[in-house]
A and B are shown apart, each in its own frame.
Chain A
Amino acid sequence: MNLAKMYAVMVKETRHIFRDRTTSLMLLLIPVFLMIVFSYSLAVNVKNVPISLMDNDRGELARQFIAQLSNSDDLIVGKAAQNYAQAEDWFDRSRIKALVVIPPNFTENLSAGRPAEIQVLVDGTDPTTAEFAITHILSRSQMWGYQLATKLYSRQPVSGELSLLKNPIDLRTRTWYNPTLNNQIGIIPALLALVLSLPAIAVLGAIVREKELGTLEGIFATPLGRAELLVGKIIPYIATGLVSAVLCAFAAVTIFGAPFRGSLALYLLLTADFFLASFSMSLFIATFLNSQAAASLVGFLFFMFPGFFLSGIFFPVSAFPDLVKLDASFLPSTPFVAIIRGLMVKGQGLGALWMPALTLFGTGMAMTLFSVALFKKRIG
């Protein structure tokens, strides 16, 4: 491989990128833009689930019970429903996620120390929200029931014994790195792996474009070797990618309070490692494609989409079926998510991160070699 020739390709490609101001700005700034939008939408994670009540009792205890349910930021108790038909309509339009129905003889039964059955209807469409509503409604109403029971019993001698009992098991949890299990700390850094996948799609497009426009043949008529061409082509993209990597991390840390506990130099080094892997993946795919339309579909289907779901940002990779685990490990963003979390959240150095770093490097080398080998056959 001749370095002077590779340098020439690098200069040509850099001019290509910056000749067109719009494209170069998009390349640099879209990751930053996405980083800001994604982080913003994750940063505030207030759960306030709208629910409604149907009070068929209208007694004193029912009023107290409703006050207990309303007394929280987790459940927003809206207007009371008059009948089931109205509640039904609200469910259909997603105005409420749950309905609590208080039976007619609620106050009467409870005052006499008899249990009262409340009906809880929940919209299960979004299981996470549904579970949230269920947990909060049940725990609030049971807590209220206990309080009422102890009040009733306090007139009887039983209460003394009951209150002496200890809690059988005392669970103490200690959460490292992110004690409040906050999205800002754990998820926002990992999103870097998603937004920084975008330059790989530009690389894919840049190579396929030369094929589509027929300019690749002109280059092949020069004494340039395949390796010089391919490597020279991706280096400028690594450079611009690193600029947006710094901007993205800066936005995550300054605007959204994401932690950056590791070293910046190591971040740059390992991000370059990630670009090497993802760009060489693009090179490899580009050898099979002839149109930019196909390139954009492939870019989405094989980079962005699995990068979102399978790289461990939102779902832990260890919980996937084995076959998918295997597939995810070929995806450059999977090791990169591990690297970013280790570096930014845990403040680790290369000592802990060598494994994913090496995986990326190995993918990069293997894919570059494959592409260099395949490229010739496709052009000749």
Chain B
Amino acid sequence: MIYRMWTLIIKELTQLLRAPVIIILVTIGPLSEMSMVAWSTAAPIENLPTAVVDLDRTDASRQLLAKLATTKTFDFQFFLDDVNAITPLIEYGDAVGALVIPRGYERNLKAPIGDSAQVSFVLDGADPIAARAALASVQGTVETESGRVLAQWVGEDASAALSLIQPALRVRFNEDLKKSIYTVPSELGLILFAIALMLASIAIARERELGTLEQLMVTPMGKFELIVAKAVPPVLLSYISFILMLLVAMYGFGVPMRGSWVLLLGSATIFLFVELSIGLMISAWSSNQIQGMLGAMMWVMTEFFFSGYGVPVENMPDALQKLAHIFPIYHWMIIFRAILLKGVGFDVILPQLLWGLGIGLVVIPLGMWILGRQNWD
């Protein structure tokens, strides 16, 4: 049985390696895409094009603008004299927001009694993510500025006496709250799983489309051997891709590796096999490669939403949180982050490993059943 599988593995590998474009696509492709995406999404949201209408034109108003500029969130591209000029900028998407400082800002800011100094911020909500970043930055700056002025009025002692609770904050695992440490492993995981799935989803469908599956079926090889042998070459290729991307993530983007390598590489092997079995199942079901491709695309895109990237799974509706368990990437991302960032041991990731194995135990027989069910059309 091992020998029969071995011959099929050799055949598959030869076939894959015959097309150098595939080798380039599974090595350099993922690496360059991951680097580009990681590079552009690792930084906080900065340089949002913003308009300014400073009707006060005083030291105080300029000081507020300077404070906002130091947050780097904004790129003040438009200086306007008229509030009405804001409308077209936001409608056409040229500016994400506009800050309006009305006349009398400095006067009101200096007097401890009377009206508060006013600042308005007009915001384009069409892109909520950019809008939230802009809003948080403006609110934070205004709050600090407010606090500074307030402290001047009441004196340092009184404001200190008011803050009875003094929190000592300590952030663990990702001390600087660097976004890249969270996002880069997600991006890596997505590419890795997608590459593995794509390679596998075509493997059987191709034989069927070209009519060579029949020839394979008349060999003494069993369905289990066929599926396992078909999975080995894509696992090898994805593994190379995984190691390369991991090195870039660690040395290029500062993702720490605090856990055990054996544990990481071992669980990666399990999860790659599971993901590939899903690809092979899709492949066995498809009657041609386009179906395999579309099916794999559908799976991997759905799966990505359960990797905790856009929305953490804990924030999803209950039904989806349960559904997340059938997607290997959900368990893999938990393991991957826990080993990289927290350096946890085997006992902590055991439940996730068992889930992965469980999915594999369902998917492989299912794939075999689907493979046997169809009449080699």
Residues of A within 8 A of B (CB): 20, 22-23, 26-27, 30, 33-34, 37-38, 40-50, 91-94, 110, 113, 115-131, 134, 137-138, 141-142, 144-146, 148-150, 153, 158, 162, 164-183, 185-187, 190, 194-195, 198, 201-202, 205-206, 209, 213, 289-302, 304-306, 308-310, 312, 314-316, 318-321, 324, 327, 338, 341-342, 345-346, 348, 352
B194 touches A300 (CB 8 A): yes
Q: B135 touching A169 by the CB < 8 A rule?
A: no
What are some 7 contacts across the A-B interface (CB < 8 A)? Answer: A122-B170, A149-B164, A165-B112, A169-B118, A172-B121, A346-B126, A352-B91
Asked, given contacts A186-B126, A209-B289, whether A171 binds B316 with beta carbons under 8 Å apart, the answer is no
- Contacts A26-B295, A119-B170, A168-B117 given; indicate if A315 touches B126 (C-beta within 8 A): no
Residues on B with C-beta less than 8 A from A182 are 125, 128
Beyond A174-B121, A176-B123, A315-B129, 6 additional pairs, beta carbon < 8 A: A34-B301, A121-B172, A149-B164, A201-B293, A209-B288, A294-B22
Of B96, B114, B171, B316, which one neighbours A124 at CB under 8 angstroms?
A: B171
Measured in the bound complex, the distance between the Cα atoms of B114 and A241 in whole Å is 61
Binary contact readout B94-114 vs A (1 if CB under 8 angstroms, 0 otherwise): 001000000000000100111
Task: Tell me if B127 and A346 are in contact (CB < 8 A).
Answer: no
Q: Determine whether the beta carbon of B29 is less than 8 Å from that of A149.
A: no
Interface of B (DSSP majority class): helix
Residue B342 at the A interface, CB < 8 A? yes
> Is B91 a contact of A346 with CB atoms below 8 Å?
yes
Contact between chains at B36 and A176 (CB < 8 Å): no
Q: In the complex where A171-B138, A296-B201 touch, is A166 in contact with B126 (Cβ < 8 A)?
A: no
The verdict on B56 contacting chain A, using a C-beta distance below 8 Å, is no
Once bound together, how far apart are the Cα atoms of A41 and B321, in whole Å? 9
Contacts A167-B116, A187-B129 given; does A299 touch B293 at CB 8 Å: yes
Q: Please pick, from A27, A48, A314, the residue contacting B129 in the complex, using a CB distance under 8 A.
A: A314
Q: Across the interface, do A127 and B182 meet the contact criterion of CB distance under 8 Å?
A: yes
**In contact, B172 and A123 (Cβ under 8 angstroms):** yes
Is the pair B294, A176 in contact by a Cβ cutoff of 8 Å? Answer: no
Q: Provide the main secondary structure of the chain A interface.
A: helix
A314: chain B residues at CB < 8 Å are 129, 310
Chain A residues in 8 Å Cβ range of B165: 115-116, 118, 141-142, 144-145
A27 to B291, CA, bound (A): 9
Scoring B residues 171 to 188 as 1 if CB is less than 8 Å from chain A, else 0, what string do you get?
111111111011000010
Question: Is B244 engaged at the interface, CB distance under 8 Å to the other chain?
Answer: no
- Shortest C-beta distance, B258 to chain A (Å), equals 11
Interface residues on B, range: 35 or more
In the complex, B58 has a CB within 8 A of chain A: no
Task: Answer whether residue B268 sits at the interface, using C-beta atoms and an 8 A cutoff.
Answer: no
Are A118's CB and B92's CB within 8 A?
no
Bound CA–CA A129/B132 (angstroms)? 14
Docked CA distance A130–B120 (Å): 29
Structural contact, A124 and B173, CB atoms closer than 8 A: yes
Q: Is the CB of A166 within 8 A of B116?
A: yes
The verdict on A20 contacting B288 (CB below 8 Å), with A44-B316, A316-B130, A324-B36 known, is yes
User: Smallest distance from the beta carbon of A308 to chain B beta carbons, Å?
Assistant: 7
Pick from B19, B114, B130: contact of A291, CB under 8 Å: B19
Interface presence of B166 (CB below 8 A): yes
A176-B125 contact given A30-B297, A162-B154, A316-B96, CB 8 Å threshold: yes
Q: A118-B168, A162-B154, A187-B129 are in contact. Are A301 and B121 (CB under 8 A)?
A: no
Report A-chain residues with C-beta under 8 Å of the C-beta of B174: 124-125, 127, 130
B residues near A158, Cβ cutoff 8 Å = 158
- B residues 196-242 near A (Cβ < 8 Å) are 198-199, 201-202, 206, 209-210
Min Cβ gap B70→A in Å is 17
Is residue B46 within 8 Å, beta carbon to beta carbon, of the partner chain?
yes
In the complex the two chains form, is B135's CB within 8 Å of A168's CB? no
Contact for A178 among B125, B181, B206, CB less than 8 A:
B125
Q: At the interface, yes or no: B317 with Cβ under 8 Å from chain A?
A: yes
Q: Which of A91, A117, A168 contacts B116 (CB 8 A)?
A: A168
Hey, which chain A residues are within 8 Å of B166, CB to CB? Answer: 115-118
Q: Are A38 and B131 in contact (CB under 8 A)?
A: no
The verdict on A294 contacting B125 (CB below 8 Å), with A41-B305, A122-B171 known, is no
Is B146 a contact partner of A168 (Cβ separation < 8 A)? yes
Nearest CB on A from B370, distance (A): 13
In the assembled complex, the CB of A19 is this many whole angstroms from the nearest CB of chain B, namely 11
- From B37, B146, B167, B308, give the contact of A126 (CB < 8 A): B308
How far in angstroms is the closest Cβ of chain A from B155?
Answer: 11
A318 to B93, CA, bound (A): 11
Contact A170 B128 (CB under 8 A): no
Chain B residue numbers with a CB within 8 Å of A180 are: 125
Determine whether the beta carbon of A300 is less than 8 Å from that of B37. no
Task: Determine if A316 and B45 form an interchain contact, defined as CB atoms under 8 angstroms apart.
Answer: yes
Q: Tell me if A92 and B171 are in contact (CB < 8 A).
A: no
Q: Which residues of B contact A348 (CB under 8 A)?
A: 91
Write the chain B residue with the least CB distance to A135.
B136
Our pick among A113, A119, A168, A341 for the contact of B109 (Cβ within 8 Å) is A168
Q: Give chain B residues whose Cβ lies under 8 Å from the Cβ of A179.
A: 125
B82 at the interface (CB under 8 A from A): no
Q: Check if A186 sits within 8 Å of B127, measured CB to CB.
A: yes
Q: Which of B206, B292, B301, B302 has the most C-beta atoms of chain A within 10 angstroms of its own C-beta?
A: B301
Q: Are B154 and A130 in contact (CB under 8 A)?
A: no
Task: Point out the residues of chain B lying under 8 angstroms from A41, CB to CB.
Answer: 305-306, 310-311, 316-317, 320
Nearest CB in chain A to that of B116: its residue: A170
Given A22-B287, A168-B150, A169-B119, verify A138-B128 contact (CB < 8 Å): no
Contacts of B312 in A (CB 8 A): 126, 128-129
Complex CA gap A190/B92 in Å reads 16
A242 to B289, CA, bound (A): 23
The listed residue (B120, B150, B177, B210) touching A173 by CB distance below 8 A is B120
A-B pairs, 7 with minimum CB distance: A178-B125, A124-B174, A145-B165, A186-B128, A170-B116, A316-B130, A168-B149
Q: Are A318 and B96 in contact (CB under 8 A)?
A: yes
Asked if A178 and B121 sit within 8 Å, CB to CB, the answer is no
Contact present for B320 and A171 (CB under 8 Å): no
Chain B: CB-nearest residue to A291: B19
Task: Tell whether, in the assembled complex, residue B128 and residue A292 are in contact, meaning their CB atoms are under 8 Å apart.
Answer: no
B36 to A301, Cβ gap below 8 A? no
- B22:A169 contact, CB within 8 angstroms: no
Please tell me if the beta carbons of A94 and B334 are within 8 angstroms of each other in the complex: yes
Query: B161 within 8 Å of A by Cβ?
Result: yes
Give A291 to B128 CA distance when docked, in angstroms.
41
Quick check: is B33 within 8 A (CB to CB) of the other chain? yes
